[in-house]
């Protein structure tokens, strides 16, 4: 008795092979870049300047802990309701998710505002940077995080 778990057409097999190859290539290149990035940056900059940039690059990851990603679960619910042809439920889930994302943005804005206005930004790692450049860099980091918030809305809307 022969059991077939996956019965794929020839087109699907070709597409599956291409996707596996693309995923493997993407992961391999990211790994290679991670091995080459630090030595090249230390070569072109000093260790101290490289440490400053590593610190600044880690800030967005640290700040995105305030991004509660509601859109992944909502997107799955939208797909399920679309398959069942329940358009009213799709609209309801989308509106609720949009409200939750806006509340999340508001909470993030309050936390960042409190930090910027109540605390002096005095990290010993970045003491050599001029204050105006530091504020500009931090503003760009916060802007990128806001773009990440809004990106989740756009992904769900598409």
Residue 22 CA, distance from chain mean position: 20
Residue 80 CA: distances (Å) to CA of 37, 63, 84, 154? 42, 32, 6, 19
Give the pLDDT confidence score for residue 3 in this predicted structure: 63
Number of Cβ within 10 Å of residue 93's Cβ equals 20
State residue 121's pLDDT score.
Answer: 64
Instruction: Write down the pLDDT at residue 32.
Output: 93
Q: What is the tens place of the pLDDT at every residue in 66-98?
A: 777 778 788 888 888 888 888 899 889 888 888
Report pLDDT for 113.
83
**How crowded is the C-beta side of 70, counted as CA atoms within 13 Å?**
18
Per-residue b/e over 49-86, b at no fewer than 16 CB within 10 Å?
ebebeeebeebeeebeeeeeebbeebbebbeebeeeee
Query: Mean pLDDT by 10-residue block, N- to C-terminus, for the chain (158 residues)?
Result: 70 88 92 88 83 79 75 84 89 88 87 79 72 82 84 74
Global confidence as pTM: 0.60
Contact of 153 with 101, CB cutoff 8 Å: yes
CA atoms of 149 and 158, how far apart (whole Å): 15
Residues in the chain: 158
Contact 134, 120 (CB under 8 A): no
């Amino acid at each position: 008795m022969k059991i077939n778990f996956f019965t794929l057409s020839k087109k699907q097999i070709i597409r599956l092979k291409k996707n596996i190859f693309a995923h493997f290539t993407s992961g391999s290149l990211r790994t290679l870049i991670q091995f080459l990035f630090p030595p090249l940056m230390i070569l072109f900059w000093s260790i101290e300047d490289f440490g400053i940039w590593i610190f600044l690059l880690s800030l967005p990851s640290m700040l995105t802990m305030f991004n509660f990603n509601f859109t992944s679960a909502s997107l799955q619910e939208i797909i399920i309701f679309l398959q069942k042809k329940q358009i009213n439920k799709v609209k309801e889930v989308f509106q609720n998710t949009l409200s939750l994302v806006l509340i999340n943005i508001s909470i993030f804005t309050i936390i960042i505002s409190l930090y910027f206005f109540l605390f002096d930004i005095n990290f010993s790692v970045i003491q050599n940077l001029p204050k105006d450049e530091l504020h500009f860099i931090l503003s760009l980091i916060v802007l990128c995080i806001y773009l990440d918030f809004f990106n989740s809305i756009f992904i769900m809307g598409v």
